[in-house]
Amino acid sequence: MKIERLKEMISGGESITVEFKKSKTKLNRDVFESVCAFLNRNGGNLFLGVDDNGSIVGIDQAAVEKIKMDFVTSMNNPLKISPTFYLSVEEVEIEEKIILYILVPQSYQVHRCNGKIFDRNEDGDINITDNTNLVSDLYIRKQRNYTENLIFPFAELSELKAELLLRLEKWLPMNDRIIHGCQ
């Protein structure tokens, strides 16, 4: 992403789609709650090395690789984020400081962080696990937005062309692969 666009997002402050984490020498404890909330809501932009007020504090050079590795490793740990989700970390230099930028898309699944369901509201990550109405609304919103969860009663398995499905599977990211074992 272009530096100017990132600066523009940072100057706009935290919002329903933008979150800052200081993470100067290590990942903030609550960074995965934000990732989970973004996945469950509309997606968002996560900036590591930026203070809550939008000040670019940067990440210590010696900590950059460890923070990136810790982030990716945790994202692939089902005890941290479930279901797991693949995200890329982009290293960016702004004001002669290193920040890490992560684009988190909206997911078609409901995700949990440490066993809890988080949703995004304004600039906060809200634990909705024990609120049955909010959890129900989240599942309904996911079903309404994504056809992966719909059942097509008149489609027969024999109508699917296996060779096309296999070609499609090669293009889908690992998290989106839903077609397995087609003959």
Q: What is the DSSP string of 94-154?
A: ETTEEEEEEEEPPPSS--EETTB-EEEETTEEEE-TT-HHHHHHHHHHHHHH-GGG---TT
Which fold is adopted by the domain 3-145?
Answer: 3.30.950
Confidence of residue 162 (pLDDT cuts 50, 70, 90): confident
What's the predicted TM-score (pTM) here?
0.79
Give the residue-averaged pLDDT of 161-181: 61
pLDDT digits (tens, 9 = 90+) for 132-143: 999 999 999 888
Contact partners, residue 8, CB within 8 Å, separation at least 6: none
User: What is d(CA 87, CA 142) in angstroms, rounded to the nearest whole number?
Assistant: 20
